[in-house]
Amino acid sequence: MYNFDFVKPATVDEALAALAEEDALPLSGGQTLIPAMKQRLNAPSRLVSLLGIDALKGVCPGEGGVTIGGATAHAVVAREAAAVYPALAALAGGIGDPAVRNRGTIGGSLANNDPAACYPAAVLASGAVIVTDRREIAADSFFQGMFTTDLEEGEIITAVKFPIPEAAHYLKFEQPASRFALTGVVVAKFAEGVRVAVTGASEDGVFRWSEAEAALSDSFRPEALEGLSVPAEGMISDLHGSGAYRAHLVKVLTGRAVQAC
């Protein structure tokens, strides 16, 4: 690890001011950033911890939805969102291991946008809104490919607003080593229609499977997917599975998620 400054402000404004320095980075749970720094793959000049900012923490059920603070740990979501949005809570409860869940946060996960991470699928399938220090970003325009988002330099995710679907389910098929999603699918059924978001599979990161959404919006049964298929092209092919395998998993998991809804 290279040397760096560390600050732990109490407000978002202080954090933004601290982030103005060149090569400063926000630090949330540190479950992604700290390992990268230990490997000397990332060398921020200053870390601005968000964990001292109370306004960024908590699970707040509100009208038609639930708002989760950007620095809320996965374990807190797993516990406190269980009554309002059980599928989201279950997803958070299946991330990593207890240590990761007690440190890692939703804001960190979304800002990082790992192509195999769980939260991006929930955010996209729910049609959630990402709230930052300066604006609100719709899920559909937030994710812009592997490890890439719409966030500007120094922009902080302060909260995520989730509408609550009538029914939803996340199925994560674990990569055998990392136990991130080799492929994961969130199916969310709203009055206006069904949304299906897929993580772990595509070289472009999390995506919506629109054919399935249309079919399931017509008939919310696994059988509705018969005849549909996801092209293997553009799917991740690596040690743990070919693109064809991942494409196949998308369909299997979508069907099973519908079944479980």
Partner 1 sequence: MPKDGIGASTKRREDIRFLTGRGRYTDDINLPHQAHVHFLRADVAHARINGIDTAMAAGMPGVIRIFTAADFAGVGGLPCGWQVTDREGQPMQEPKHPVLAEGKIRHVGEIVAAVVAETLEQARDAAEAIALDLEDLPAVIDMKAACEAGAVKVHDDLSSNLCYSWGFVEDNREAVDQAIAEAAHVTTLELVNNRLVANPMEPRVALGDYAFHDDSSTLYTTSQNPHVIRLLMGAFVLGIPEHKLRVVAPDVGGGFGTKIFHYAEEAFVTFAAKELKQPVKWTSTRSEAFISDAHGRDHVTKVELALDADNNFTALRCLTYANMGAYLSTFAPSVPTWLHGTLLAGNYRTPLIYTNVRAVFTNTVPVDAYRGAGRPEATFQLERVVDKAARELGVDPAELRRQNFIRKDQFPYATPVAVEYDTGDYEATLDTCLGLADYAGFAARAEASRARGKLRGIGLSHYIEACGIAPSNLVGQLGARAGLYESATVRVNATGGIVVMTGSHSHGQGHETSFPQVVADMIGIDASQVEIVHGDTANTPMGMGTYGSRSIAVGGSAMVRATEKIIAKAKKIAGHMLEASDEDIELKEGRFTVAGTDKSLAWGDVTLAAYVPHNYPLDQIEPGLEETAFYDPANFTYPSGCYICEVEVDPGTGKVEVCSFTAADDFGNIINPMIVEGQVQGGIGQGIGQALLEHCRYDADGQLLSASYMDYAMPRASDVPNIAVDHSCQTPCTHNPLGVKGCGEAGAIGSPPAVVNAVIDALERAGKPVAHIDMPLSPARVWAAMNS
Ligand X SMILES: Cc1cc2nc3c(=O)[nH]c(=O)nc-3n(C[C@H](O)[C@H](O)[C@H](O)COP(=O)(O)OP(=O)(O)OC[C@H]3O[C@@H](n4cnc5c(N)ncnc54)[C@H](O)[C@@H]3O)c2cc1C
Contacts with ligand X by CB under 6 A lie at 25-33, 50, 70, 95-96, 100, 103-105, 107-109, 111-112, 114, 117-119, 151, 156-157, 179-180
Rg (CA), the chain: 18
Please choose, from the candidates 88, 127, 87, the residue with its C-alpha nearest in 3D space to the C-alpha of residue 260.
87
Output the smallest distance, CB 97 to ligand X, in A. 6
SS3 189: strand
The alpha carbon of 247 is separated from its chain's Cα centroid by a whole number of angstroms, namely 20
Distance CA 255, CA 173 (A): 13
CB 247 within 8 A of CB 231: yes
SS3 144: coil
Q: CB-wise, 141 or 178, nearer to partner 1?
A: 178
CB 220 within 8 A of CB 233: no
Output the smallest distance, CB 239 to partner 1, in A. 6
Binding site for partner 1 (CB under 8 A): 1, 39-40, 173, 176-178, 182, 239-242, 245, 248-249, 252, 256
80 touches which of ligand X, partner 1, none (CB within 5 to 8 A by kind)?
none
Q: CB-wise, 87 or 118, nearer to ligand X?
A: 118
Q: How many CB atoms lie within 10 A of CB 126?
A: 26
Q: CB-wise, 130 or 224, nearer to ligand X?
A: 130
Q: Is the dihedral of CA 117, 88, 176, 97 positive or negative?
A: positive
245 touches which of partner 1, ligand X, none (CB within 5 to 8 A by kind)?
partner 1
65 touches which of ligand X, partner 1, none (CB within 5 to 8 A by kind)?
none
100 touches which of partner 1, ligand X, none (CB within 5 to 8 A by kind)?
ligand X
Q: CB-wise, 7 or 244, nearer to partner 1?
A: 244
The alpha carbon of 110 is separated from its chain's Cα centroid by a whole number of angstroms, namely 5
26 touches which of partner 1, ligand X, none (CB within 5 to 8 A by kind)?
ligand X
